[in-house]
Structure 1
Amino acid sequence: MRLCEIVLDGQLAVDLSDSVGPLRRREEAGSTVLSVPASDPAILAQVLEALESLGIGVTATRQVEHPEPDVVEPG
């Protein structure tokens, strides 16, 4: 599955699931990485808009292949 990862500087203290639905989320080297399906650009746009409205900066976005089973963490 191809994913778009959104890398945030630091840990995300808010739950975005109310505004954009469940997200894949993990902590990596002091950053929070959110993942959305690359096949749905509308979801990516919603997540980026929600982050911007909250004043949360995005460090990077990238597309990756994700061979592992997806785990969605509840908000």
Structure 2
Amino acid sequence: MQTIEINSQRIKSVFYQRHLLTVELNTGQKFLYQTVAQETFDDFINANDKDKFYKTHIQFNDGFRRIQLFR
């Protein structure tokens, strides 16, 4: 599992393991995305604006199944 701390306005941290991407927002909400390809993850990590990439390529992408995780 890879854990990435991200300096962004919306995203606190990201976890990635075997086509599962867990995104924790600064609000405390956590979302699990299935079928995230390694290439998409690499593009996300290398993006200059991770908030914009998350919103345009992951959050509203029909190719990913989003599950909200509760504490």
Specify if TM > 0.5.
no
> Which structure's CA Rg is the greater one?
1
TM-score of the superposed pair, with normalisation by structure 2: 0.29
The structure that is helix-richer by fraction is: 2
Higher relative CO (Cα under 8 Å, sequence separation at least 6) belongs to 1
Q: Please report the TM-score for the alignment, with normalisation by the length of structure 1.
A: 0.28
